[in-house]
Amino acid sequence: MGAENSVLEDCDIGKALPVVSDVDWILREAVRKNNMTTPSSSLAVFTLKKKDSRRECDIIQLNAKQLKSVRHPGILQYVTSGHSSDGSYLITEYVTPLEYTVKQLSPIEICSGLHGIIESLVFLHEKVRISHNNICKSSIFVTNDGSWKLGSFEHACHFENLTAKFLDNCRALRCEKTISPEEKAGNLCIEANFEHVFDAYAFGILAEEFLEQLQELGDLSKTFELHIQDEYLNPDPKQRSKLCSLLNNRLFKYENHFLEIRQFLRNITVKSAQEKQDFFSRVISMLLLLPEDLIGSRLISLLLSRFVVLDEDAVEMMLPSLLIPRPEKKEVISEKPASPTSIFSKSSFKKYVIPELTKIFQVRELHIRHLLLKYFSYYVELFDRNDIEEIIFPQLLLGLRDTNDSLVSASLYALGDLVPILGGETVIGGPQKAYFKEGKPKFQVTQLQEMGKKPNNLHSIMTKSVINDFTAPKRLNLKTEKKFIAEDKCSPPEDIKDSRISIKDQTAVITNISPSKSQPYIVSEDAVHVKEEICQEIDDEQEVIVHEGDWPDWDNNSSVTKKKDEIDYFVDMQPVILPTPKNELLSLPVNNNPVTVDNISSNSIELSFAVSEDAAEVDTTGWDDDALGWDVLDTKIN
C-alpha cells in the first residue's frame, strides 16, 4: 500500500477529461514529477464520483481486480490501484475516452479500432473465458498512437459465474442501449457454448453507431452492415455467431493497408523470417498510399519499434525511406538528395518522427546507434536546439569514448554536422584561434583603383566608342583623336571592307598607350599594352587606303614616317600577330608623355603567398578530456 500511495503522490494530477456518457468514474491525466521525459511519464487516473453507496464505491476496485489479471494489447494496461483520502483510485496507461475523440477519427482509423476491439473480445471469450457484459463507447479508450483499448471491466465475470442473477445485480450500472433483448424481456437461458451472445449483441449495437462514418468506404461498409444485422443483432441468441468470424469480413481484409501494417507490426515477434522479408519488401508501397498524418500519428511508433529497428530486412528495405525526409516543394534541392521513396516531408518528419528519434537516441545499443548516425545528416537540422544541447550532443560525445572504432568515427562525422548549428566552440570545446588566413592571390591594379573601378577582366574597361570607330567603315581624323588597339593577337576585322583614313597632322597605325610614370603596366595572357607616342606629322593631304584583306605590314610599314631625331625604343621588338575569331579592343587613357624604360615596373604584378608565422603554432587545447568535459558528462548521464 505504501508503494501504491507513493505512485499517486509522485504524480501531478490534472483536470478531469470530459465524458459524454453518464458514468460513475472520473478520468484525469497524471504526470510523473521525477520522470518527465520518459514515454511512460503520462498516466491516466480513474477515481470514483462522490456517492454514498457501498456498492458503487467498489466499482474502481472491481475494475482494477479484473485488469490486473488480464493482459492483452487490446485491453487497457494496468499500472496500480489503491485507496487515498479521496477514495479508491486506478492508475493505467495514458488514454482518453473514445467519445472524446471519435469525431476526429477517419474511416480507416475506425476500422482499425473496431478490429482491435473484436480481437480483445475473442481473446476474452476463447482464451480466458470471460464475458465483459458492458461493451459500449464509454468502455473504450484511445491511446496516443490511436489504438483502441477495452476497459471498464467492473461488470466482467467468468463464464461459470455468468448467471441471470449476476446480470440483474449490475444492470442498473450498465449501458441500457447494449443490453440484449432476451435480458430485457427476462427470458435468459444461458447455455454452454453460447456465453458470447451478450457481448456479440452489444458489439453489434456499437458497430451500428459507426456506420455513418464508414459510408466513405462504399460497398465495404454496406456488406459490413448486413453482416452485423444478420449475425449479431439477431433476436434469437442462438443465431448470433462468435466474434472471431467477423475478423474475416471484407471491411478488414480488402486492401486495408493501414490495418495490415498495424497488425503485422504488433505481432512481429511471432512472425517467421520469410514473412518478415515479404512484408518489408512491399511495406513502402503500401505506406505511400496512406496520408502522411495517418502514418505519423498512428504507425510511426510501431515502424520505429525495437524489434523493427533490429530486423535486417527492415533496415535494408524500409528504414532508409523512413529516416530520410523529403524536401518541401518550394525548397531548393540540397546537396544530399532525398530517397526516391521518402515517406515524410520535412514538416511531417519534424512533427512525428523527430520525437521518436529523440527517445531512441538515448538507447545504448551499438546497432541502433549506427543506424541513427548513418542518416543523421539528413534530419539533424530538424531537431530543436534545446534537444540537441540536452540529449543529442551528450549522446554523441559519449560515443567518442566507446571502444568501437566504427562508432567513434560515425560519432565524429555526426559532431561535424552539429558545428553549423551549435558552433565550433561549443562542439570542440576550449578557446578558438584563427590559425589559417586567406591566401588567394590578388592583382594590384593601381590605375584602376584610382579610377574607382576594380574590373575582373579586360571587357569591363572597353568602350563602345572605340569598337564602333574601329569596326565602322568611316574616315578617322587622327590629328584630334588617338586610337589604339589592345590585342596582341589581332586580325583584321571582318566587317572592314573599304575604309579610307585621312591623315593630316598625326597618324597612328599601331596601338598607342601612354600612361603616367606612376602607373604600372597591366600584363595579362590576353592582351599586351604597347606604349608609344605619336609625334610625327604627315602631310595633311596624304591618305592611306585600307582595303578588305589588307593589314599594315608590321615589319616594313611604309605608311608611317617617323622623325629622324626620334629614338625608336621598339626597334628590336617584333610583335607576333595571330588571327583570332573576334577582336576585342581596349580603351585606356592616353598620356602624351614619352615612353621610357623607367615607365615599366618589374613589380607590376605581385603575388603574395606568404604564410603567417602564427599558422605554424599548433595548439592542441580543446581535444583533451578536460576540454570536452567528459568527467562532467559522465556524471550527468550516468
Q: Residue 4's pLDDT is what? A: 52
Angle subtended at Cα 407 by Cα 401 and Cα 410, rounded to the nearest 5 degrees: 110
pLDDT per position as a tens digit, 216-244:
888 888 999 999 999 999 999 989 999 99
- φ, ψ of residue 187 to 5 degrees: the values are -110, 45
Mean pLDDT of 138-142: 93
Q: Residue 179's pLDDT is what? A: 92
Between residues 248 and 19, the one the model is more confident about? 248
Cell of 419: 558545428
Enumerate the domain spans of the chain: 2-96, 98-257, 442-610
pTM summary value = 0.64
Nearest to 75 by CA among 30, 122, 43, 33: 122
In the predicted model, what is the mean pLDDT of the chain?
74
Between residues 10 and 146, the one the model is more confident about? 146
Domain 2-96 has CATH 3.90.1200.10: no
| % pLDDT > 90, the chain | 39
Q: Residue 54's pLDDT is what? A: 43
pLDDT per position as a tens digit, 376-396:
999 999 999 999 999 999 999
Angle subtended at Cα 24 by Cα 22 and Cα 29, rounded to the nearest 5 degrees: 95
Cell of 220: 465495404
pLDDT per position as a tens digit, 507-550:
444 444 444 444 444 444 444 444 444 444 444 444 444 444 44
Q: Which residues contact 553 (CB under 8 A, 6 or more apart)?
A: none
Torsion of CA 227, 233, 237, 240, to 10 degrees: 20
Q: What is the DSSP string of 569-608?
A: TTTT--------SS----------SPP-GGGS-TTSS---
Whole-angstrom Cα distance, residue 619 to residue 624?
Answer: 11
Domain 98-257 has CATH 1.10.510.10: yes
pLDDT classification of 35: cutoffs 50, 70, 90: low
Cell of 202: 452489444
